[in-house]
Amino acid sequence: MTDPSPSTKKRILDAAGEIFGKMGFKDATIRRIAMAAEVNIAAINYHFRDKEGLYGEVLEEVFRTGFTRFPATMDLPADAEPRERLRAFIRAMFYRLQSGEGWGGIAGKGKLIARELLDPSPAFEAVLDRYIKPHKDLLTAIIVDIMQFNPGPEKVLPCAISVIGQCIYYAFASAVIGKISAGDAPTEANLDRLADFVWLFSLGGIEAIKQTNFPAKDSP
Amino acid sequence: MTDPSPSTKKRILDAAGEIFGKMGFKDATIRRIAMAAEVNIAAINYHFRDKEGLYGEVLEEVFRTGFTRFPATMDLPADAEPRERLRAFIRAMFYRLQSGEGWGGIAGKGKLIARELLDPSPAFEAVLDRYIKPHKDLLTAIIVDIMQFNPGPEKVLPCAISVIGQCIYYAFASAVIGKISAGDAPTEANLDRLADFVWLFSLGGIEAIKQTNFPAKDSP
DNA sequence: AACAGAATAAAACAATTGTTTGAATTGAGC
DNA sequence: GCTCAATTCAAACAATTGTTTTATTCTGTT
């Protein structure tokens, strides 16, 4: 029941990840998934109860493999130079989101993650607690280390959001980015360049926030 | 034919904008739209040919009204201090995306824009040329002014992407942001604060990029 | 008043959806 | 070799979808 034949259930999960990613929950039909996985339609309901059950397991597996393959520390020791830890964090995000070994960007399962951010499914709640919240805590700790003191959440959290926002936006809008600025759409070849840009930009942004009194009532 | 009764067609457009925004193209059924607009189902096909035709007109109207109500210059003169022009640009993005007078954020038509960025519909191409590309050109011009010289597109364009990325991310992921950092989800009340944060952060980022040699092969 | 074309309405259409049914097949364990 | 549960399969189900059809009402012009 919990450990079925290694073939059918796993094949369904793989095909479903691909197709849910490309087309979204609604457009991905179980007939299409079944055809891609080369299984009978009823096998999906048999193994996963219903379409939502299948989606939930796909989501969990996608996050698990992504964060396992590209951990946010990039195997950097926890006491490394904080700016390098930020660099590793950003690089991990880019590789996790965009690379073929990761979620494959907008052409693959990256789209599935983007869609969950846009409007979360019921299954997303679990993923949020297990992966995203610890991920956020790590980033805020890095930012505090870079600032060399803790300026309070009203500065640190928006910084974290800005860092993550840049990374996600590349994954999210790469179709439009490609049409507007062809060289800056994320590809396997320029992930390092893009990640380093976001890193440098963010270091400047964090430094600026550190030195300003924010929120401020008056405009400079 | 082109200028029908001011009631029916307009009512369909309004209801469709609302419902397409909330539920996406696929989940928004014409029956639901017809019911919300209080018109007969067939009226939609009569006035807009088919569902795709309706969606195309909705998209065009949403962008037109959004950019008209909140122009990226915020009525600032073109020769104003470049940093203030950046502030106006970012503020316009936040208000356009998030405010009730604009696209109403993730609860309203903002979701529709986000979905188009994620995977563009055929109707998006026109919107891209008419609204988004000029918008990008304006931002890059502001960035060049801030840097006081033109460091070339390999620096300016990623800066523009980082600025826009932060703004869009707040619109895009506000559901998740709210769950992770409650005070930083965009609401009508804190748009100014968030916009100013992104502004300060971006000024720091732009300054940092200006002073670095990028792209660089070596890591600092 | 009479007509023509635009606009609205109710009903039906064909296609596709997720799910279920019930029979056939497989594969260990005794 | 038999049994029984787990699995797979083909077929059918009910519900929902976008669209079309046909008839009716409205509106402005002669």
**A158/B197 touch (CB, cutoff 8 Å), yes or no:** yes
Q: In whole angstroms, what is the distance from residue B211 CA to residue B220 CA?
A: 13
pLDDT over threshold 50, residue B202: yes
Q: Assign residue A49 a region: left if phi > 0, alpha if psi is -120 to 50, beta otherwise?
A: left
**pLDDT tens, A13-66?**
999 999 999 999 999 999 999 999 999 999 999 999 999 999 999 999 999 999
pLDDT over threshold 70, residue A90: yes
Length of chain A: 220
**Residue A209 CB closer than 7 angstroms to strand D?**
no
pLDDT over threshold 80, residue B211: yes
* Percent of chain A residues topping a pLDDT of 90: 89
Nucleotide nearest to B47 (CA to C1'): C7
pLDDT over threshold 60, residue B218: no
User: Taking CB atoms and an 8 Å cutoff, what residues of chain A touch B180?
Assistant: 128, 132-133, 136
pLDDT over threshold 70, residue A217: no
Q: In whole angstroms, what is the distance from residue B41 CA to residue B16 CA?
A: 12
Give Cβ neighbours of residue B220 (< 8 Å, ≥ 6 apart).
Answer: none
**A205/B209 touch (CB, cutoff 8 Å), yes or no:** no
**pLDDT tens, A104-121?**
888 889 999 999 999 899
Average pLDDT over residues B85-95: 98
Average pLDDT over residues B10-18: 95
Average pLDDT over residues B9-34: 96
Residues with CB under 7 A from strand C: A 28-32, 41-42, 44-45, 50-52; B 1, 4-5, 7-8, 39-43, 46-47
- The pLDDT of residue A108 is 86
Reading the block at residue B80, the tokens are 């104003």
Nearest residue to B214 via CA among B163, B164, B157: B157
Give Cβ neighbours of residue B13 (< 8 Å, ≥ 6 apart).
Answer: B54, B57, B58, B61
Q: In whole angstroms, what is the distance from residue B20 CA to residue B23 CA?
A: 5
* Domains in chain B: ranges and CATH: 8-48 (1.10.10.60), 63-211 (1.10.357.10)
**pLDDT tens, A119-140?**
899 999 999 999 999 999 999 9
How confident is residue B216, by pLDDT bands cut at 50, 70 and 90? low
pLDDT over threshold 80, residue B1: no
How confident is residue A216, by pLDDT bands cut at 50, 70 and 90? low
pLDDT over threshold 50, residue B5: no
Q: In whole angstroms, what is the distance from residue B80 CA to residue A63 CA?
A: 46
Average pLDDT over residues B34-49: 96
User: Taking CB atoms and an 8 Å cutoff, what residues of chain A touch B29?
Assistant: none
- The pLDDT of residue A102 is 95
Backbone φ and ψ for A121, nearest 5 degrees, come out as -85, 165
Q: What type of residue sits at position B28?
A: A
**pLDDT tens, A170-188?**
998 999 999 999 999 999 9
| Matching residue, tokens 């035709």 | B53
Q: Assign residue A213 a region: left if phi > 0, alpha if psi is -120 to 50, beta otherwise?
A: beta
- DSSP characters over chain A: --S--TTHHHHHHHHHHHHHHHHHHHHS-HHHHHHHHTS-HHHHHHHHSSHHHHHHHHHHHHHHHHHHHS-TTTT--TTS-HHHHHHHHHHHHHHHHHSTTTT-GGGTTHHHHHHHHHS--TTHHHHIIIIIHHHHHHHHHHHHHHHTS---HHHHHHHHHHHHHHHHHHHHSHHHHHHHSGGGS--TTTHHHHHHHHHHHHHHHHHHHHHS-SS-SS--
Q: Are B157 and B140 in contact (CB under 8 A)?
A: yes
**B165/A161 touch (CB, cutoff 8 Å), yes or no:** no
How confident is residue B137, by pLDDT bands cut at 50, 70 and 90? very high
CB atoms within 10 A of CB B193: 18
Give Cβ neighbours of residue B203 (< 8 Å, ≥ 6 apart).
Answer: A208, B83, B86, B146
pLDDT over threshold 90, residue B133: yes
Q: Are A127 and A60 in contact (CB under 8 A)?
A: yes
CB atoms within 10 A of CB B208: 21
Average pLDDT over residues A147-159: 96
